[in-house]
């Protein structure tokens, strides 16, 4: 009886929503082209249970570089050409920089109190400024260099201890990056011991599930008037995951406050001048006259941003890079030859070597071209009615930028599905591509005011970790096996099948691994 009652409410609600949309449409508005859908449901039935990224790319090929479709009662516009992307992220960035925050992301961001999903207002600008100045500046990254070195070398040592056995590349990358992030966030409080291992294990078990839930199609996102029913249980599931993570954040914050209040300035002096990120946040929180006030929720939301975005995406990119290299032995040989020339087999990789590793940098760029961490970026939303490509984009329209389609477009890239790092070493426009969002056919980290704030750390960590793996070991797959390059799309682009590689030591002296 209860189920029938709920079903009746849902049906009536959807009917009313559909009627409201129909009568409020302006027939004189020139919307982008796009497929027809069903009444009430829109195009949802054609996307549920299918590869969303692939379906949107196919629709782009059919309807052009800008097209629309209705998902429930929401209008979605998908853009997949460099010139139109430039309109959105540069010329009209003020209108298109707002968020259409899914229910799952709203819960995970503590009600939109983070950098990724907060509206672009003064509070957002203050939080982003804190993050960039206190964690991503050259000074801060140089001070945290020893942390990255320590954890990458520990990872190399673990691989060497089990040499000859299959290594799950993605998991190795995730654990390494997670330890780096935890140390940069709150390294002076719990960076080792049983409690540190417990936190590591809990994060490993939850973060990937949280990110997968971000990308799960949710009826509540397409019919806001019935979102409270949580028909698919996405909100409830995310709340369960966040309870686990929130308990960790609260415990770490409490310990940090206790340590700082009991030891005061003496503790800070012993840290050789390096503050961890949480210490900075707590000091700003306690500073009454701060021009960047920050709440307790914002502190936890920022920690969540860094842990989630800084671990899973980096680990996934390293896994894709290794898959591309192992699937193309000639490319791996070139990368290892460069490492031998720059570093030497009687030495280990240091971050100071990174600027000289031009071919390896091209490998990373090619990996991010083929497998961008956020192939549709995060969903934008128009704050006012605007135009793109001559078409009207109404207020509150959800906007996807199909970066993956642009970066695999054969009209832009020669043999786009070929793993070819050399394309980024040419003197043409591709050779000049960087991650700063200035080349609109190559935007793995986005562009405009919503560009990823963590690029400086991601760039260093990706290059350093991949260089260490390739310089320290030769890698192959088990005999008779092949590398599955199929993709699974959520909010991130993951390998459907985890990559396992068998390492063989390359360095001349085994003590270098210790």
d(CA 333, CA 325) in angstroms, rounded, equals 9
pLDDT at residue 11, rounded to an integer = 52
pLDDT at residue 192, rounded to an integer = 55
Sheet holding 98-99, edge to edge: 66-71, 74-79, 398-401, 380-381, 98-99
d(CA 280, CA 140) in angstroms, rounded, equals 12
d(CA 79, CA 309) in angstroms, rounded, equals 24
Q: Quick check: 144 pLDDT over 60? A: yes
Mean pLDDT of 320-339: 97
Tell me the backbone φ, ψ of residue 81, rounded to 5 degrees.
-140, 145
Is residue 242 within 8 A of residue 104, CB to CB? The reply is: no
pLDDT in tens, 359-386: 999 999 999 999 999 999 999 999 999 9
Q: Quick check: 289 pLDDT over 70? A: no
pLDDT at residue 28, rounded to an integer = 60
Q: Quick check: 1 pLDDT over 70? A: no
What does the DSSP 8-state code read for residue 271? T
pLDDT at residue 184, rounded to an integer = 86
Mean pLDDT of 18-32: 61
pLDDT at residue 168, rounded to an integer = 95
Considering only CA atoms, give the Rg of the chain. 24
Q: Quick check: 153 pLDDT over 50? A: yes
Q: Quick check: 24 pLDDT over 50? A: no
Neighbours of 477 (CB within 10 A): 16
Say which CATH superfamily domain 2-513 falls into.
Cytochrome P450 (1.10.630.10)
Q: Quick check: 17 pLDDT over 80? A: no
pLDDT in tens, 180-231: 888 888 874 444 566 666 766 777 778 888 888 887 888 889 888 888 889 9
Structure-model confidence comparison of residues 127 and 196, the more confident one = 127
pLDDT at residue 79, rounded to an integer = 98
Q: Quick check: 420 pLDDT over 60? A: yes
Closest CA to 186 of 199, 176, 173: 199
Mean pLDDT of 143-172: 93
For 22-140, where are the E strands, in sequence order? 66-71, 74-79, 98-99
Q: What is the dihedral of CA 83, 84, 90, 95, to 10 degrees?
A: 170
Q: What is the pTM of this model?
A: 0.90
- Highest mean pLDDT, choosing among 136-150, 168-182, 260-274, 356-370: 356-370
Mean pLDDT of 348-362: 96
Mean pLDDT of 262-290: 66
DSSP string, 294-354: --HHHHHHHHHHHHHHHHHHHHHHHHHHHHHHHH-HHHHHHHHHHHHHHT-TTS---GGGG
Mean residue pLDDT across the chain: 87
pLDDT at residue 47, rounded to an integer = 83
Band of pLDDT at residue 25, cut at 50, 70 and 90 = low
Q: Quick check: 27 pLDDT over 60? A: no
Q: Quick check: 406 pLDDT over 70? A: yes
pLDDT in tens, 427-462: 776 778 999 999 999 999 999 999 999 999 999 999
Is residue 117 within 8 A of residue 103, CB to CB? The reply is: no
pLDDT at residue 271, rounded to an integer = 47
pLDDT at residue 307, rounded to an integer = 87
d(CA 395, CA 138) in angstroms, rounded, equals 39
Range scoring the smallest mean pLDDT among 80-94, 177-191, 326-340: 177-191
Band of pLDDT at residue 48, cut at 50, 70 and 90 = confident
Range scoring the smallest mean pLDDT among 23-27, 369-373, 506-510: 23-27
Structure-model confidence comparison of residues 53 and 25, the more confident one = 53
Band of pLDDT at residue 149, cut at 50, 70 and 90 = very high
pLDDT at residue 308, rounded to an integer = 86
**Terminal-residue alpha carbon distance, the chain:** 66
pLDDT at residue 8, rounded to an integer = 47
Band of pLDDT at residue 267, cut at 50, 70 and 90 = very low
pLDDT at residue 96, rounded to an integer = 96
Q: Quick check: 494 pLDDT over 70? A: yes
pLDDT at residue 4, rounded to an integer = 45
d(CA 391, CA 385) in angstroms, rounded, equals 11
d(CA 215, CA 492) in angstroms, rounded, equals 8
Band of pLDDT at residue 15, cut at 50, 70 and 90 = low
């Amino acid at each position: 009886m209860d189920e029938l009652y709920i079903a009746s409410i849902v049906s009536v609600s959807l009917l009313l929503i559909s009627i409201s949309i129909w009568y409020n449409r302006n027939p004189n508005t020139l919307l982008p082209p796009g497929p027809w859908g069903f009444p009430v449901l829109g195009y949802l039935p054609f996307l549920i249970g299918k590869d969303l990224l692939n379906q949107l790319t196919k629709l782009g090929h059919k309807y052009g570089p800008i097209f629309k479709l209705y998902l429930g009662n929401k209008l979605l516009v998908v853009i997949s050409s460099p010139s139109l992307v430039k309109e959105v992220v540069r010329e009209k960035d003020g209108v298109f920089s707002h968020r259409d925050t899914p229910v799952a992301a709203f819960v995970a961001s503590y009600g939109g109190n983070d950098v990724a999903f907060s509206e672009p207002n003064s509070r957002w600008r203050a939080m982003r400024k804190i993050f960039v100045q206190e964690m991503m500046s050259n000074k801060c990254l140089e001070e945290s260099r020893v942390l990255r070195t320590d954890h990458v070398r520990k990872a190399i040592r673990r691989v060497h201890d089990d040499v000859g056995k299959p290594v799950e590349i993605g998991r190795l990358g995730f654990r390494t990056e997670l330890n780096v992030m935890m140390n940069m966030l709150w390294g002076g409080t719990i960076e080792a011991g049983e409690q540190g291992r417990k936190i590591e294990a809990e994060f490993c078990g939850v973060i990937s599930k949280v990110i997968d839930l971000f990308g799960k199609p949710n009826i509540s996102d397409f019919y806001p008037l019935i979102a409270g029913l949580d028909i698919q249980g996405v909100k409830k599931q995310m709340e369960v995951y966040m309870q686990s993570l929130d308990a960790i954040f609260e415990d770490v914050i409490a310990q940090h406050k206790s340590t700082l209040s009991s030891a005061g300035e003496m503790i800070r002096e012993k840290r050789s001048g390096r503050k961890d990120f949480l210490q900075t946040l707590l000091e700003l929180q306690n500073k009454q006259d701060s021009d960047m006030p920050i709440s307790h929720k914002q502190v936890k939301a920022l920690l969540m941003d860094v842990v989630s975005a800084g671990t899973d995406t980096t680990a996934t990119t390293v896994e894709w890079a290794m898959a591309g290299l192992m699937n193309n032995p000639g490319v791996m040989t070139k990368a290892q030859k460069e490492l031998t020339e720059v570093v030497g087999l009687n030495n280990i990789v240091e971050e100071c070597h990174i600027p000289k590793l031009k071919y390896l940098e091209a490998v990373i760029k090619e990996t991010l071209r083929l497998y961008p961490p956020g192939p549709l970026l995060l969903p934008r939303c128009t704050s006012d009615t605007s135009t793109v490509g001559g078409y009207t984009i109404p207020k509150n329209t959800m906007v996807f930028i199909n970066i993956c389609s642009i970066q695999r477009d054969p009209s832009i890239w020669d043999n786009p599905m070929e793993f070819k790092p050399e394309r980024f070493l040419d003197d043409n426009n591709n050779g000049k591509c960087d991650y700063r969002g200035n080349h609109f056919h190559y935007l793995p980290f986005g562009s405009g005011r919503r560009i990823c704030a963590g690029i400086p750390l991601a760039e260093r960590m990706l290059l350093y970790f991949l260089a260490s793996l390739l310089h320290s070991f030769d890698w192959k797959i088990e005999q008779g096996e092949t590398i599955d390059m199929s993709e699974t799309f959520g909010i991130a682009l993951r390998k459907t099948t985890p990559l396992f590689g068998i390492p063989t030591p390359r360095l001349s002296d085994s003590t270098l691994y210790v």
